[in-house]
Amino acid sequence: MKDTQKITSKENGTVGLKEKLSWGIFDLGNVSFSVVLVDLVFSLYFVQIICAHRTDGTFLLSLAAFFTQIIVAVFLPFVGALSDVVTKRKFILGFFFSLCIAATALLGTTKEGDVWKSLLCYSVANISFSFTENIFSSFLPEIIPMAFIGRFSGWTRAFGNLGGFLSLLGVYPLLAPGFTVANTELLRLSFPIVAAIYMMCGLPLFFNLELQKKTKNNHGFSKALLKIVSDLKETVFCMVHNKAIRLYFAASFLFFSAATILMIILAVYAQMEYGITGAQQIGVFLLIQAGGTLGSFIFGFIQDKWGSRRALQVDLLLWISCVSSLVFADNKLAFYGASFLIGLGNGSLPSLSRAVMSLLSEEEKIGKYFALWGLSCRIATGIGPLSFGYLFILSHSFKTPMLLPLFYFLGSLLLVSFLPKIRKDLRPKTF
């Protein structure tokens, strides 16, 4: 019984501290890339620098973000299935990892007027990052025994949020003068710096991790494609008839829709409702990262102590408190407090969700399960902001649409409450 909890690597060995640390350091790079590039720098750089003399910058950016998510949603199941069929998950991971680094670094060569070049580089970087993050997460069950998966996922995410905090501090001198054409040269440096951080955090995984259970069948590429289609059909059929998977996919769709709304709209909401701009906005993101580090660390323990379903319920209650605070906050101090709560929730939600998905997935189809789950989440990240924008147009207000993520979180809490107990969700005695 004890042997079944050990994941083998290098034929006869077990996963050691070096492999676990490599996986955790990669997570640091994921958070740093997402926070600095996706959430903060590129959107402001594109609208205020690249499109300094255009009025359609925000529309073009939202259009690129939408099509990026659609491409990821369509192809992610095939990428995940391919990684299972040809047993080359680390090779596929490396391909998208390298592509992401190159595209991000090329953003540093863009300047005012380079609309399509910057959008192309950003789209390639974001698509590659999305594939990389999903494949990377699918290694989790091979890194750590199921009984410790919540704590380990939480710890590594806390480490990642700490890295995001430090990365923001690192590029702060470049951003502090403001997103102005006069500061273009300093702002451009932030892109190769982010690419370098991401590369340095990811390389240890490729040198130290030698996982992937070997299969007896070695498929050629054409046969692999046929098997992918067949396996995906079978996997979808199994998932549709699995109550726990159905409930979790629906809950994930709702809470990722809501969380994406908050993360995308927060900077604009801060400016429009409370007059928070410039360096103060960077301070808000630093506060979110500080809360995220604490949230990931705490919820890793909560999940292993109380179980995945209860931990998710507590996390969703925290998010509901976040949204309520934002809706009813009437001063900057209250907004900063709500931002810290958002950090707690945002730091814990990714680690909780991927750990639960690991527990629910069939071992031999882990790549396909994560890919289909990723498809659902990517569609959610597109639908959430779109629904918020539509409600904003109807109401001409920020306060009223902010009720939308509140209802999304309430709905996901209800679905999680009906989630059956996960059989592999065991309480560990030792680590």
Residue 167 lies in a domain: yes
Residue 174 lies in a domain: yes
Residue 10 lies in a domain: no
Residue 9 lies in a domain: no
d(CA 421, CA 172): 45
Q: Which residue has the tokens 């629906």?
A: 250
Q: What does the DSSP 8-state code read for residue 429?
A: S
As a whole number, the mean pLDDT across the chain is: 78
Residue 386 lies in a domain: yes
Residue 102 lies in a domain: yes
**What's the pLDDT at 431?**
38
**What's the pLDDT at 224?**
60
Residue 98 lies in a domain: yes
Helical segments of 138-242, H only = 140-143, 149-175, 184-208, 221-240
Residue 132 lies in a domain: yes
Number of domains in the chain: 1
Q: What are the two backbone dihedrals, phi and then psi, of residue 13, each rounded to the nearest 5 degrees?
A: -85, 180
Q: What does the DSSP 8-state code read for residue 48?
A: I
| Domain residue limits at 391 | 15-208+224-417
Taking alpha carbons only, the member of 278, 274, 422, 409 closest to residue 346 is: 409
Are 30 and 137 in contact by the 8 Å Cβ rule? The answer is no
CATH of the domain at 260: 1.20.1250.20
Taking alpha carbons only, the member of 137, 100, 71, 82 closest to residue 373 is: 137
Q: pLDDT tens, 371-409?
A: 778 778 878 887 887 788 778 778 877 778 888 999 999
**What's the pLDDT at 198?**
92
Query: Residues in the chain with pLDDT < 70?
Result: 1-15, 58, 80-87, 146-151, 153-154, 209-241, 268, 271, 277-278, 363-365, 367-368, 421-431
**What's the pLDDT at 220?**
55
- This prediction has a pTM of 0.71
d(CA 264, CA 267): 7
Q: pLDDT tens, 15-64?
A: 677 777 888 888 888 888 887 787 778 887 888 889 888 877 767 877 78
Cα dist from 333 to 280, 292, 378, 398, 415, whole Å: 12, 19, 33, 19, 33
